[in-house]
């Protein structure tokens, strides 16, 4: 059973299976649905998931400490912990801390990169740095994650100051869902940007978890 997206944004998740698991995936709440889908698809019932609130991304300087605290809290219960975060704006601090703690994390700068595949994302980075990205989760949580924290619900006149340098909105779709496509279009309209939909699936998240699962 998965909690709703608002809970994933605000509070995170503690999803333990019925059987004792050996591996814990400690993830950002924005990845909960995708990771649980991968657990189900691959029958990874030896893996548990716990998530920190997705909204930590609004304060990237808090991510490293929050992850550290969670690793220390859970490490006695599992033989292995995998941190399902990329660098996520921590400027290399999360990687350094994971190295100190002896836990692995996902390679790459952020989820937009690893969903697309880090190599593929890096290849187009030079031509695409004026793109603003949304994933399935961010499309669903657009108001809570972008529109309101940026103050655009109260001050829509700030839109061009905040988004004026972007040239397009890229919706990286993890799933095929016409309702999300429509919502992504509405997000693009609100931001005043043309929409490009790109199906990524789970990208490097899948390969990273496959490696951890064995």
Contact flag: residue 3 with other proteins (CB under 8 A): no
d(CA 136, CA 20): 30
Give the nearest distance from C-beta 30 to other proteins in angstroms: 17
Which positions from 128 to 167 touch other proteins by CB under 8 A, shown as an x/- string?
-xx------------------xxxx-xx--x--xx--xx-
Judged by CB under 8 A, does residue 201 bind other proteins?
no
Those residues whose C-beta lies under 8 Å from the C-beta of residue 77, and which sit 6 or more positions away, are: 24
CB within 8 A of 94, min separation 6: which ones? 63, 64, 67, 83, 85, 87, 88, 105
- Among positions 5-64, residues that touch other proteins (CB under 8 A) are 60-61
Task: Say whether residue 125 binds other proteins (CB under 8 A).
Answer: yes
Q: Residue 196 forms beta bridges with which residues? A: 170
Q: Would you count residue 120 as binding other proteins (CB under 8 A)?
A: no
Smallest Cα–Cα separation from 200: which of 108, 107, 112, 105? 112
Spatial separation of the C-alpha atoms in residues 210 and 201, rounded to whole Å: 15
Count interface residues toward other proteins (CB under 8 A): 25
Residues that bind other proteins (CB under 8 A): 60-61, 87, 89-93, 109-110, 125-126, 129-130, 149-152, 154-155, 158, 161-162, 165-166
């Amino acid at each position: 059973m998965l909690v709703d997206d608002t809970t994933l944004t605000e509070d995170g998740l503690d999803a333990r299976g019925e059987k004792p698991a050996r591996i814990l995936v400690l993830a950002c709440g924005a990845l909960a649905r995708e990771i649980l889908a991968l657990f189900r698809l691959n029958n990874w019932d030896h893996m548990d998931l716990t998530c920190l609130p997705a909204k930590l991304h609004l304060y990237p300087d808090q991510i490293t400490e929050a992850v550290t605290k969670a690793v220390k809290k859970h490490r006695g219960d599992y033989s292995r912990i995998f941190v399902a975060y990329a660098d996520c704006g921590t400027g290399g601090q999360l990687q350094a801390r994971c190295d100190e703690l002896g836990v692995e994390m996902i390679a790459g700068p952020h989820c937009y990169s690893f969903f697309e595949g880090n190599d593929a994302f890096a290849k187009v980075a030079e031509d695409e740095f004026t793109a603003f990205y949304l994933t399935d989760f961010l499309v669903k949580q657009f108001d809570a994650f972008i529109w309101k924290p940026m103050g655009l619900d109260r001050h829509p006149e700030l839109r061009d100051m905040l988004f004026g340098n972007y040239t397009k909105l890229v919706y990286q779709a993890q799933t095929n869902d016409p309702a999300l496509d429509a919502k992504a279009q509405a997000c693009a309209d609100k931001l005043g940007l043309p929409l490009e939909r790109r199906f990524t699936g789970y990208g490097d998240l899948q390969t990273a978890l496959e490696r951890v699962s064995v």
